[in-house]
A and B are shown apart, each in its own frame.
Chain A
């Protein structure tokens, strides 16, 4: 009997018993739905983390020379934490030393920041990330100043009281007004607003527009960093290879400058987007490792359910089997019929699971910022698993059916 015949026959049986079929394939459905949804969400998360999180937070082809990492996911022992605290901080002199000696073409920006309050005309914006930096910072962060201008290297050298606001800060303090040219008060001193940065949007639901940027030499610097101390030196290069070269240089220069022996560990940290993602990568690896287990459990359960349903079908349809044998069905015809029926049932389950999984991925995409895209390979795997589970589950019931004695089967009620 041709396969197609058996598939049509199986579909007819499924159609005749919709509800029962649905319940019997729910295990496979859930397993495959899980596979599709988790893969697409985790992959969406990966894309999001790489495109949005790391590159926006750190900058493209950029790394930071820091005392210690500021992205720590997972457990850090108290000893480790204290060791990090004991490291020497990055100084202005360190920054000058590096700037003077790195040969790879790079853009540098000294950086320190802290939460500060900005006020204008009785209104106060609290918890604003006040950044003290150099003029190159705007380029490194890819900040587009849409209103007014960024500050210049000259203004930085002179320690001018000028500030560029993030979009949300400007909106909060100057609703309906043009902030450029007005004065905002920071730590008791008036600062002239010279520009506003284009809206950056949200990251994990947190606004990226609650900041203000001033020269690191401006008077408010002593509120955000100790004297002569930097949070980090930002270093941007032209491409990934240049970045590797620059990182090697900076590492060697810092080790030499601090007199570290070959056996000693670095007592500074080079923060990259890659590095910031390490914690996330660990989580995503664990998810991908746990996924096959979770999917396998639902598929095994689904397979057992289908096997039981098929055993029931065989005993319910004993007479049908007898009739088919009397009409000339060979053992392998009956075997094929029930295996194909089982596989069809399971594949229908897998198809529904794929449908639900895709729907789930679309819902996640619609309600969250994750670009949850369905991976084509996961659909392929889902279909394959559906067919495979059904065939395996169908073997035993089908072989029982095929071995029935036609005389006995014809007498069955």
Chain B
């Protein structure tokens, strides 16, 4: 077995909503190894978004441990978390979340800006990442000049540009038609083949079927964890 990238132990997260306490996660244990392709599934309210925020270091747990690539991130402060998000995690969102006024190239450069990479190196690396997702000829377009599939590919290029440990996708095909969804899934499969660890949150079984492993959450706990042969993309 290859090394552990993600190790989550007895993770809980509760929120106070007025007088009520909502337990979004009630003790999750999860291990993900390098170059796995995992789909996290579950109905709404199952805690999958909360878990994704935890894995993405956007949120910290109420209790339990989270180790990412050998570092315990569950106890980290804001700035340290920002550094981990920058270096270890590549986000792909349902709504793409590109900066509307910036070109594709500039959007892809953004993580490198926060990593402190010099302007010249940034440009080269961003061009390379855009080439990987087949958008070399769209580099200088703004998001509103691109189709949904192209926007999501810009977002993938941005997620990859800092060579993260995990590619973390939240409903990556939620805003795309089925043809474009297949196209994005092919990109993910390609990246997985090249050795990228991919964690994808989705509620669509046919999208989850592209992954080699499906973790299903229910009521804040892992209900099932099934490994299968991924669909040939």
Contacts and interface: CB of A to CB of B under 8 A. Distances in A.
Interface stretch (B83-91, B190-198, B212-220): B83-91
A410 B97 CA distance: 8
A406 interface: yes
Nearest to B100: A320
A322 B97 CA distance: 9
Interface stretch (A293-301, A327-335, A358-366): A327-335
B149 interface: no
A5 B113 contact: yes
A406 B58 CA distance: 6
Residues of B in contact with A, size category: 20 to 34
A333 B86 CA distance: 13
A145 to B, nearest CB: 73
Contacts of B82: 325, 328-331, 333
Contact of A328 (B53, B101, B102, B111): B111
A326 B78 contact: no
A327 B78 contact: no
Contacts of B102: 12
B58 A1 contact: no
Contacts of A324: 110, 114
A5 B114 CA distance: 10
A325 B97 CA distance: 12
Nearest to A12: B101
Contacts of B86: 327-328
B85 A333 contact: no
A13 B97 contact: no
Contact of A326 (B85, B87, B115, B162): B85
Contacts of A320: 99
Given A5-B113, A323-B97, A407-B59, A328 B87 contact: yes
Interface centre among B82, B87, B111, by most chain A C-beta atoms within 10 angstroms, is: B82
A101 to B, nearest CB: 82
Interface in A305-338: 319-320, 322-333
Contacts of B111: 327-328
B56 interface: yes
Interface string B90-110: 010100011101100000001
A323 to B, nearest CB: 5
A326 B53 CA distance: 10
A323 B83 contact: no
A329 B110 CA distance: 9
B193 to A, nearest CB: 25
A16 interface: yes
Given A407-B53, A410-B93, A327 B101 contact: no
Contacts of A5: 113
B56 A331 contact: no
Interface in B135-166: 158, 162
A18 to B, nearest CB: 13
Nearest to A334: B82
Nearest to A4: B119
Contact of B113 (A1, A13, A322, A407): A1
B122 to A, nearest CB: 10
Contact of A327 (B59, B79, B110, B116): B110
Interface in A1-20: 1, 5, 12-13, 16
Contact of B97 (A12, A319, A331): A319
Given A407-B53, A407-B58, A407-B59, A328 B114 contact: yes
Contacts of A323: 97-99, 110
Contacts of A333: 82, 114
A1, A12, A324, A328 — most chain B CB neighbours (10 Å): A328
Given A16-B101, A319-B97, A331-B79, A326 B114 contact: no
Contacts of B98: 323
Contacts of A329: 82, 114
Nearest to B59: A407
B79 A330 contact: yes
A159 B158 CA distance: 102
A326 B83 contact: no
Interface in B10-55: 53
A57 B102 CA distance: 66
Contacts of A12: 101-102
A61 B56 CA distance: 83
Contacts of A326: 56, 58, 85, 91, 97
A330 B114 contact: yes
A10 to B, nearest CB: 12
A171 B85 CA distance: 88
A410 B79 CA distance: 18
Contacts of B78: 330-331
B128 to A, nearest CB: 18
A254 to B, nearest CB: 79
A324 B97 CA distance: 10
A332 B82 CA distance: 11
Given A327-B86, A328-B87, 15 more contacts: A12-B101, A12-B102, A323-B98, A325-B82, A326-B58, A326-B85, A327-B110, A328-B83, A329-B114, A330-B78, A330-B114, A331-B78, A333-B114, A407-B53, A407-B58
Interface of A: 1, 5, 12-13, 16, 319-320, 322-333, 406-407, 410
5 contacts: A325-B85, A326-B85, A328-B86, A328-B87, A406-B58
